[in-house]
Structures are given as C-alpha cells and as structure tokens.
Amino acid sequence: MPLRIGKETRAPVPVQGFCLALLAMALLAACSPKAPPPPPPLVTPSKVITMEGVEYYVWRLRLAGTSQELMLKTGGGQTWVPLSIIRHLRFSGPEKENYRPGEIVLTSGEKFRGEVFVGQLLQGTTDVGYWNMPLSKVKQLGMGAEY
C-alpha cells in the first residue's frame, strides 16, 4: 500500500457552490442583451437673417480664417468673444468704419452691447451647398446647437 502524506485537498461544499453560482452568473451576464446606444446629440443649424429679411439655415457656421472670435468694442476697450459661447447676435444700427452697434447674448445669458467688427466673412453649409456672406450684410444671427 502506498504511503500517503496529508489529507486529500478538496474545497468545502459551500465554496464549490459559491464558485459554481459565480460562474453561472458570469455566463448569464455575457449572454444578456446589451442596452441600446444613447441617441445622438441634438444638432440644429444656425439661423442667419440678412438686412433684406432673407433667412438662411446654415450648418457648421464659422468665420473665414482660423480665428473664430468676434471683436467687440465697449467703452474704450476691445473684447474678443468666441463664436462657441455666442447664442444670439443682433445688430441695431448702420455700419460705420467696419463696426456696427449690436448686442451679443452669450450661452450663459450674459449680454454685451457695443460695436461689433463686421469686416469678416461668415461661411458654412446650407441645404444647397457651400454658403458665405459678409458679416456687414447680416441683421441677426442665432447660433445653432452644433458646437
């Protein structure tokens, strides 16, 4: 008869049952249906109204060039306002030396009044393709929810 040292090493029954239950839950979780992906974020175009009253709905509205900021003169200083934080822009007077009086409403609700530099070109895409217009011909600008 061979000599045996020690006792047989088997896990107690409660530990084996726990491991078996854990394995069953892992297999069940792997086979369960996945949750559907969240809906895409709501994207709306920007609304541009010209001095003549023509409305354009423009996607991916931006300023020509690399700087995406409007220059606003208030009092004696200048402020650069990024397009990404502008909700609405409304001009209230005629152009004078590339500046027009206007009001900028930010996404936070703050309002700035002053003279806006209009010697820039707006560009984007409409339903018929590429679109651009000088900022001096714009009466109102409502930024869309695509930023």
pLDDT means per 10 residues, the chain with 147 residues, are 57 69 78 80 89 94 90 90 93 93 94 94 93 94 79
- E-strand stretches of the chain: 46-50, 55-63, 69-74, 77-82, 86-91, 99-106, 111-117, 121-126, 129-134, 138-142
Give CA–CA dist 120/117, Å, rounded. 8
pLDDT at 56: 94
pLDDT at 147: 46
Global pTM exceeds 0.75:
no
pLDDT at 34: 77
pLDDT at 24: 82
Other Cβ atoms closer than 10 A to 49: 16
- The residue type at 30: A
pLDDT at 28: 74
Judged by DSSP in three states, 136 sits in helix
pLDDT at 126: 92
What DSSP assignment string belongs to 13-35?
HHHHHHHHHHHHHHHHHHHSPPP
Give CA–CA dist 135/116, Å, rounded. 10
pLDDT at 65: 86
pLDDT at 2: 57
